[in-house]
Structure 1
Amino acid sequence: MFLIDEIAEQRIREAIERGEFDNLPGKGEPVVLDDDTLVPDTLRVAYRILKNAGFVPPEVELRREIDDVEQLLAGAIGPEQRDAAERRLRYLLTRLDLARGGGGSLLMESRYHGRLSARLGRRPR
C-alpha cells in the first residue's frame, strides 16, 4: 500500500471511532451510482442537469422503446405483427443511429437482426 493510502485509511478509522459517520444522510441505504461513462464529456453535465430535473435524454428513451420492440419480436407473434414490429425496430434504430451521429453501425445491426430472425423463424426441414 502507498503511504497516501495508509494515511487516508488511518484518518477514516479515526473518524469512525469519533462517530463522525454515524448520522450521515442516507446511512444504511444503498448508494446509487450514475453510470454516465458512455455519455460524451461535453454532454455529461447537461444530461445530469436534465436527469435531476426529471427529463430523460432522447437516446435513452429510444433505447427503451427499442428494447420493448425487441421483446415483442421475441414473443413469437404472428407474421403481420412480426413485420410491423421489424419495421418499427428498423425505424427506431435509424433514429438512434442519427442521434448518435449516423455512423451506420446500428443500421447494420438491424439488417443482421432481420436476417437472423428470419432464419430462426423458419423451421428446419
Structure 2
Amino acid sequence: MTVNSFPELRGQRNSVRSETDIQGVVEQRIWHSMEEGQFENLPGKGKPLNLNTNPHADPAEDTLYRILSKNGCAPEWVQLNKDIRSQVSEW
C-alpha cells in the first residue's frame, strides 16, 4: 500500500506505516461510511450468509475438505493442532 492509499497518514515523520495506523484509518472510514448509510442497500441485506463454501479457497481444496469432514476425517494439520491444544491443556 502506498501513502496515496491513505491520505490521512501523509505528513507523518516515519515513512513506514504501522499496521495499527492503517487499521485505525480503515476503521474510521468504515464508521464514516456507516454513518452516511452507505451499507444500507447492499445485496443480501438481512439474509443469512452462506457459510457452506469458502469463496476465497481453491475450489478443489474446498471440495476435498468438505468430503473429509463429511466422513469424519480431518486434514493432518487440523488433527495435529487438536493434539497440541489437548496436550497444552493437560500441562
Please indicate the TM-score interval, normalised by the length of the shorter structure. 0.3 to 0.5
Larger helix fraction of residues: 1
TM-score by length of 1: 0.30
Structure showing greater radius of gyration is 1
TM-score by length of 2: 0.39
